[in-house]
């Protein structure tokens, strides 16, 4: 299995971690009675629960792009050291992002986000290079 697919597997686990962390933090904030009910009142998460909800939303904003990049790289059979490094950088940045956001660490969290985004960009560059190479032959 490719490095990119292993990183995608890691990202799937990380997605589940984001969802559960956000859900349990919100449950701790509002209590069981609210979370098992119809949630007719619009209660917003605050503090730690709010940070976990925003971290989850932020992760999901990039996750679809990462999945698409991995599948394009696999489908086109264009894996390279650039795409592998990009995938590793994405997952490493996203892994660092969650605890940094949980702790409320402003600058390091931003650097983790930048690293993950750079990883996505590297993967997209690899796709672009391959498509420019293949496009004239289509």
Structure tokens at 97: 């992002």
Tokens of 89: 């950088």
Least Cα distance to 87 among 17, 19, 9, 18 occurs for: 9
Is the pLDDT assigned to residue 34 strictly greater than 80?
no
| pLDDT of amino acid 95 | 97
- Per-residue burial over 73-108, b if 16 or more Cβ lie within 10 Å, else e, is bbeeebbeeebbbbbbbbbbbbbbbbebbeeeeeee
What average pLDDT does this structure show over 57-73? 97
At residue 43 the predicted structure's pLDDT band, cuts being 50, 70 and 90, is confident
Of 88 and 28, the structure prediction assigns the larger pLDDT to 88
Taking every pair of C-alpha atoms in the chain, what is the biggest distance, in angstroms?
Answer: 62
User: Collapsing DSSP states into helix, strand and coil, what is residue 130?
Assistant: helix
The total of other beta-carbon atoms located within 10 Å of residue 135's CB is 8
């Amino acid at each position: 299995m490719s490095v990119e697919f292993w990183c995608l597997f890691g990202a799937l686990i990380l997605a589940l971690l984001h969802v559960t962390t956000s859900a349990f933090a919100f449950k701790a904030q509002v209590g069981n009675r609210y979370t098992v009910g119809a949630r007719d009142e619009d209660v917003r998460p605050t503090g730690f629960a709010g940070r976990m909800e925003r971290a989850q939303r932020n992760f999901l904003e990039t996750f679809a792009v990462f999945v698409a990049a991995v599948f394009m790289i696999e489908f086109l059979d264009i894996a390279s050291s650039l795409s592998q490094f990009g995938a590793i950088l994405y997952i490493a940045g996203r892994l660092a992002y969650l605890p940094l956001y949980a702790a409320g660490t402003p600058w390091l969290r931003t650097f983790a986000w930048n690293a993950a985004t750079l990883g996505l960009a590297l993967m997209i560059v690899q796709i672009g290079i391959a498509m420019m190479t293949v496009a004239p032959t289509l």
